[in-house]
Amino acid sequence: MKPTDLTDALNGVDPAFIKESEPEAASGTQGRYKPWARIAALAAALAVLISAGTVAAWHGFRKPTAQDETGLQALLRPLTACAAEYPAQTPYPAEGELAPQSELEAWTKADLERRQKYYGAGKSLAAYFARSLPAFLEGSAGQNSVCSPLNIYFALAMLAEISGGETRAQVLSLLGAPDLKTMRTQANRVFNANYRNDGSAACILADSLWLNENVTFNRNTLKTLAEQYYASTYRGKPGTEDFDKAIRAWVNSQTGDLLQDVVSGIATDELTSLALYTTAYFGDKWQAEFSADETKQDVFHGPDGDAEAAFMHATDLWGEYYWGQHFGAVKKDLQQHGAVWFVLPDEGTSPEDLLRDEEALRFLFTGNKYSDWQNKKSLRVNLSLPKFDVSSQLSLREGLQKLGVTDCFNEKADFSPLTGDKPVAVSEINHGARVIADEKGVTAAAYTEMLLAGAAMPPEDEMDFTLDRPFLFAVMSDDYMPLFVGVVNQP
């Protein structure tokens, strides 16, 4: 036996002995460590419109606030038929201030309770997301495209709530819900799992229904919309400036004025019987910042040729590298609300190909990828990501029809739970979204050649992941809900 045997064996002694003998930490050993708390921003917003109108666009990262709250209320008050109350949330102590410990503790406790209460709320929706996403994003080959699967889900859930008969059955079938009651409960849980407007980050979901004042309506249905979907209903004269102005003000207030350009084009006409708007605003900081000083111009190999792009660079990203037959993927954590996943197709494969690839879709909507996805390796990743600002306006009508939701668009439409009046049909479903990923810091993309070959395992404990050609991204909540999914062909 050697003394080193004893030294080694001591490593396995009871942790309680280690704990009780723990020396006071040397205070002089701190210093020279890479800071972890960095900044960057990612924000998104969108609006969905049924029956009339257009949607979304935007700029920058801001927490949405109504610029003129008094003016907004003055516009909405006379039109309000049924107002929803949003869930109360414990406020997050303001950054930059020395908040009492009790405030932070109260927020932490409330946040934990909320997570626990609604954990797994959207688990059964994975199949719906995987099925519907390709239908919504297809047809934009070579272009950027983005949508919010979660937002579309709420629009469809409300559509099911206000429709009846086969019209409702088609929507429920698409959503994978056995009946309305199940879907209602699920939608409410999904809303609460994701809604966040407490000052720590923003994931603000908002729904509203706009009715022609000539249409009679079932107050119980409006009450259900308010209680289960937090949707307010407004009633007025479509085609008038006051009505359109109120809609625009409402959408702008819910999206922090980020969609102003497109929202300014919203206009109903006197034939509009109902319009449904759902919005989602999302903003959070990166868990670990990019350093702005190291952002460098480099080449992005787009479908229409090479172009310069500003690449952000983050070294020592802790995590896993995942791979499939035709892609490699990593995630970058957000501070409060999940993470952004970056999925890079192999050379010769496009993001659009991945949206048709069963394995890639399964990967995207696998909840806990760490426990459930076999092809992974823990390592440190050096991420090079082009700053991007992608937006698109999509008509969901064709996609929904392909997915079997047809009756709501034609004379078979049944909206009897909402109104017994003349036939009402959905004329259009538009969806607009924009996602901006930027930094207030970054790193030069000392990028290496892509090494994301199909099923090959990365050999080292550290790798470069350089998104210098078209890629997919997905903003996923902690609960694995796809808040936004998009294709970046041109950053």
Give 288's strand partners. Answer: 37
Token digits of residue 238 = 């479509």
* Closer to another protein by Cβ: residue 37 or 74: 37
Stretch 270-299 residues interacting with another protein (CB under 8 A): 287-288
CB of 25 to another protein, least distance (A): 3
Stretch that binds another protein, among 73-81, 248-256, 329-337, 468-476 (CB under 8 A): 329-337
Shortest separation between residue 320's beta carbon and another protein, angstroms: 7
Nearest distance from C-beta of residue 112 to another protein, angstroms: 8
> Rounded to whole angstroms, what are the CA distances from 328 to 35, 40, 112, 331, 342?
28, 23, 32, 11, 8
Does position 317 interact with another protein (CB under 8 A)? The reply is yes
246-251 contacts at long range (C-beta below 8 A, 24 or more positions apart): 246/75, 246/76, 246/79, 247/53, 247/210, 247/275, 247/277, 249/66, 249/71, 249/72, 249/75, 249/76, 250/72, 250/76, 250/208, 250/277, 251/47, 251/277, 251/279
- 4 is a site residue for another protein (CB under 8 A): yes
Residue 195 CA to residue 15 CA, distance in Å, equals 41
116 binds another protein (CB under 8 A): no
For the CB of residue 126, give the shortest distance to another protein in the complex, in Å: 18
Q: Which one of 71, 117, 139, 370 is in contact with another protein (CB under 8 A)?
A: 370
Segment (H or E) for 47: strand 40-50
- The answer to whether 252 touches 263, Cβ cutoff 8 Å, is yes
Distances from the Cα of 239 to the Cαs of 208, 244, 251, 274, 409, in angstroms?
A: 18, 7, 17, 12, 21
109 or 223, CB closer to another protein?
A: 109
Cβ closest to another protein, residue 5 vs residue 241: 5
Examine residue 460 and tell whether it contacts another protein (CB under 8 A).
no
Q: Is 29 a binder of another protein (CB under 8 A)?
A: yes
Nearer to another protein among residue 320 and residue 346 (C-beta)? 320
- Contact region with another protein (CB under 8 A), list: 62-70, 80-88, 314-322, 429-437: 314-322
Which phi and psi (to 5°) does residue 42 adopt?
A: -140, 135
Residue 17 binds another protein, judged by CB under 8 A: yes
At its nearest, how many Å lie between another protein and the CB of residue 176?
Answer: 26
Shortest distance in whole angstroms from residue 447 CB to another protein: 21
Q: With CB under 8 A as the contact rule, which of the stretches 135-143, 232-240, 316-324, 446-454 interacts with another protein? A: 316-324
CA distance 291 to 294: 6
Binding mask 194-233 for another protein (x = CB under 8 A): ----------------------------------------
Among 103, 227, 333, 421, interactor with another protein by CB under 8 A: 333
Is 9 a residue that touches another protein (CB under 8 A)? yes
Residue 135 class from Cβ within 10 Å (0-12 exposed, 13-18 middle, 19+ buried)?
middle
347 or 372: CB nearest another protein: 372
Site residues for another protein, 31-60, by CB under 8 A, read 32-33, 36-37
Instruction: Please report whether residue 3 would count as binding another protein according to CB under 8 A.
Output: yes
The distance in angstroms from the start CA to the end CA of the chain is: 63
Helices 101-118 and 180-194: crossing angle in degrees, nearest 10, is 150
Asked if 22 is part of the footprint of another protein (rule: CB under 8 A), the reply reads yes
Reported as type and span, the H/E element at residue 46 is strand 40-50
CB of 9 to another protein, least distance (A): 4
> What is the CB-side half-sphere exposure of residue 212 using CA atoms within 13 A?
17
Q: Work out whether 95 is an interface residue with another protein (CB under 8 A).
A: no
Could you say which DSSP state residue 309 is in?
A: E
Q: Which amino acid type is present at position 266?
A: I
- In the list 380, 387, 402, 440, the residue contacting another protein (rule: CB under 8 A) is 380
Closest among 283, 389, 279 to 55, alpha carbons compared? 279
Task: Assess contact for 105 and 113: CB atoms under 8 A.
Answer: no
Chain residues that interact with another protein, rule: CB under 8 A: 1-27, 29-30, 32-33, 36-37, 287-288, 317-320, 331, 333, 335, 370-371, 378, 380, 461, 478
